[in-house]
Amino acid sequence: MAGDKEVGEMRGRQRRHATSVVMLGLTYVAAAIATLPLLFIILYLLRKGAAFIRPAFFTQMPMPIGEVGGGMANAIVGTLILVSIASAIGLPIGIGAGLYLAEHRGSRLANTVRFLSDVLNGLPSIVIGIFAWEFLVRPFGNFSALAGGLALGAMMIPLVTRTTEEMVRLVPTSLREAALALGYTRWRTSVTIILRTAMPGIVTGALVAVARIAGETAPLLFTALGNQFWSTSLTEPIAALPLQIFTYAISPYDTAHAQAWAGALVLIAMVLVISLAARYATRSRFGTAGD
Amino acid sequence: MEASARGDRVYHAITTAFAVSIPLLLVLIAISIGIAAWPALSQAGFSFITSSEWDVARGKFGAAPAIYGTIVSSAIALLIATPLAIGVSIFLSEIAPPWLRQPVGFLVDLLAAIPSVVYGLWGIFVLIPLLRDPIAPFLSDTLRLGSTPLFSGPNYGYSMLAAGLILAIMILPFISAVTREVLLAVPRSQREAALALGATRWEMIRDAVLPYARSGIIGGIILGLGRALGETMAVTMLIGNRPEISASLFAPGYTMASLIANEFTEATSDLHLSALMAVGAVLFVITLIVNALARWLVWQVTRKSAR
């Protein structure tokens, strides 16, 4: 009878191992399925968009919808302007708030701000958009680049705040203590020693934030609005790459669709280059930290 | 000494002001949207979220179809993305050979970097035709699901299903990032103990790793839900934008975000604008609660491991 029991145990062990192999195999399948969409999207973008990327795309204005040719020069410049405004707001506030959070760890205000910063980060961009409209478009009576930039800037703040905090926390306490012992004041310690040490990480965070807002469309629908002209005025509607892609994508013309693909390829290239730069910056930081 | 003390005070004041600006910004958003939404909310009352009649011309604003669409499209997204995201995370933190970890993790993270409008564009020209031709006929005819209410009716491609699918791809990196983070927070001893007791690798993951990380994983899923609820462009481009409640996933729908995106710049009457603001207010409150809950759950796990 002992033999039966042994056989039973062996079968049980075989079954358990088989289950293990199957389940672990399924995680390979999940990994494959999860990475496929990105490859599909990028390959498709390259196939559809690459043919339309010519110098003219970057230098010319959009043609009237339905006509062949033209470029997105105004939208590319518009996006750069919007991102600059957003960075001018999001970076100082985000870095300042991040410094505060790192230096007042555990205080009630810091905990509240940290939590609300995460909440702000999770707020849908369209909600930020209608807020910017209510606050900056309605009172002044017109759509503007400034309102669009401010909406994007508000979205940058929580991202920059949290990465700054994380990076400042990684700075060894001994460094701070050494600076204070040498007679540095607190603020000089923070600004020159701590900020400089944490700078590569903060730059990474800033790049990630820029990459994220550069492709935002929803908050711009009611703020920057977009247009078909050359405009760099901050108090008037301004074109933006994502808005232009949206307009072309939902139009019924094949020529417009072609422009949408080309625009999407340029936008993706911008975002990916920024993301890769951010990743590279992080890697070199960890590389030197290990020395 | 005097000057340095003043410098410290100025520095403290500036960083405090920046830190405090975050709660202030949130309060400002809440108040201004609340005030703008008030006329529509006070006129429609509770029927704003229960009525499905959205008739701009007659001044009737019932947001039920948009709320329904938001919930259903997000639920589809979660159903598809959750198992995949947990699978990928287990793969990356427990199983993958080291040389695969970096590239696969990077590719999954990059999904979050693709702009929503590009997902929408891809969806219109790739996903919608795929749904219209092989996928929908396969579901309704080959699998004979066409007689069930879930997959009945004609399929134009633009549908709740299309929106749910694109949302699944979009929220996958968020769920996966959090899940990976909490899986890494599970102590080594937990795994070693399970293996020492004779568990297979899968049993170790199932019985020792996942239960420990459970609340954090749930937090990640809820965080993904928060993203799905508010996602705008891709959904607006794929869901069909029709304010009706239909049981069929092939039917077009509406979400709160797509409703705002579609009608906001065309709203002419103050009441219409106010109604859209009220939709925004509902979205604001829902995502606020969802995010707070998610953060709290993730915090529970990471705090445990920090001690």
3-state secondary structure A17-70: HHHHHHHHHHHHHHHHHHHHHHHHHHHHHHHHHHHHCCHHHHHCCECCCCCCCE
B83-118, pLDDT tens digit by residue?
A: 999 999 999 999 898 899 988 998 998 899 999 999
Tokens at B247, concatenated: 């049981």
Contacts B108 to A, Cβ<8 Å: 34-35, 38
Q: What is the pLDDT of residue A280?
A: 78
Q: Smallest Cα–Cα separation from B49: which of B62, B32, B66? A: B62
3-class SS at A112? helix
Distance (Å) from the C-alpha of residue B130 to the closest C-alpha of chain A?
A: 13
Q: How far is A11 from chain B (nearest CA, A)?
A: 14
Q: Give SS3 for A158.
A: helix
B269, B59 Cβ separation under 8 angstroms: yes
Shortest alpha-carbon distance between residue B1 and chain A (Å): 9
Q: Which residue has the tokens 């590389």?
A: A287
pTM (2 d.p.): 0.92
- What digits encode the pLDDT tens for the residues B180-239? 999 988 999 989 999 999 899 999 999 999 999 998 899 999 999 999 999 999 999 999
Answer yes or no: do A115 and B292 touch at CB < 8 A.
yes
Residue environment code for A114-140, b if the CB has 16+ CB neighbours within 10 A, otherwise e:
bbbbbbbbbbbbbbbbbbbbbbbbeee
Distance CA A256, CA A69 (A): 9
Give the count of beta carbons closer than 10 Å to the beta carbon of residue A256: 19
- Report the DSSP beta bridge partners of residue A238: A225
- C-alpha triplet B26, B29, B34: angle, nearest 5°: 125
pLDDT at A284: 53
What average pLDDT does the segment B162-166 reach? 96
Residue in A closest to B223 by C-alpha: A122
What is the nearest CA distance from A205 to chain B, expressed in angstroms?
13
Tokens of residue B152, six digits = 């009945």
A134–B277: do the CB atoms touch at under 8 Å? Answer: yes
Both tokens of A112, joined, read 């509240």
- The alpha-carbon radius of gyration of chain B (Å, integer) is 23
How many other C-beta atoms are found inside a 10 Å radius of the C-beta of residue B221?
22
What are B9-57's pLDDT values in tens digits?
999 999 999 999 999 999 999 999 999 999 999 998 888 988 888 888 8
A250 phi, psi to nearest 5 deg: -90, 0
Written as one string, the DSSP assignment of B226-262 is HHHHH--HHHHHHS-------S-TTS----HHHHHHH
CB contact (8 A) between residue B22 and residue A271: no
pLDDT value at position A290? Answer: 31
Q: Which positions ≥6 away from B228 have C-beta within 8 Å?
A: B73, B74, B77, B78, B167, B170, B171
Gap between the Cα atoms of B81 and B126, Å rounded: 19
Cα angle: B269, vertex A243, A264; to 5 degrees: 155
> Would you call B98 exposed, middle or buried from its count of C-beta atoms within 10 A (0-12, 13-18, 19+)?
exposed
How far is B218 from B298, CA to CA, in rounded Å?
A: 8
- Side-chain-side CA neighbours of A16 within 13 Å: the count stands at 14
Give me A234's structure tokens: 């901050």
- Which residues 6+ apart lie within 8 Å of B189 measured at CB? none
Asked whether the beta carbons of B225 and B167 are under 8 A apart, the reply is no
pLDDT digits (tens, 9 = 90+) for B264-305: 988 888 999 999 999 999 999 999 999 999 888 888 877 766
- Across chain A, which has 291 residues, the per-10-residue mean pLDDT values are 71 88 93 92 91 84 78 92 96 96 91 93 95 93 93 96 92 89 88 88 91 93 86 88 93 90 93 85 49 28
Angle at B35 between CA A156 and CA B68, to 5 degrees: 75
C-alpha to C-alpha distance for A112 and A161, rounded to whole angstroms: 13
d(CA A258, CA B217): 41
Per-residue tokens: A121:
């980060």
Q: Helix, strand or coil for residue B135? A: helix
Confidence at residue A289, expressed as pLDDT on a 0 to 100 scale: 36
H-only helix segments in chain A: 2-49, 55-59, 73-103, 108-122, 125-132, 145-170, 173-181, 186-188, 195-214, 218-221, 241-249, 254-289
Contact A59, A70 (CB under 8 A): no
Chain centre distance of CA B235: 11
Residue in B23, B29, B32 nearest the CB of A113: B23
Contact by Cβ (8 Å): A245, B118:
yes
Chain B stretch 206-265, residues whose beta carbon is closer than 8 A to a beta carbon of chain A: 206, 223, 226-227, 229-233, 237, 257, 260-261, 264-265
- Residues β-bridged to residue B54: B61
Model pLDDT, residue A46 = 92
User: Does B169 contact A96 at a Cβ distance shorter than 8 Å?
Assistant: no
Number of CB atoms found within 10 A of residue A169's CB: 15
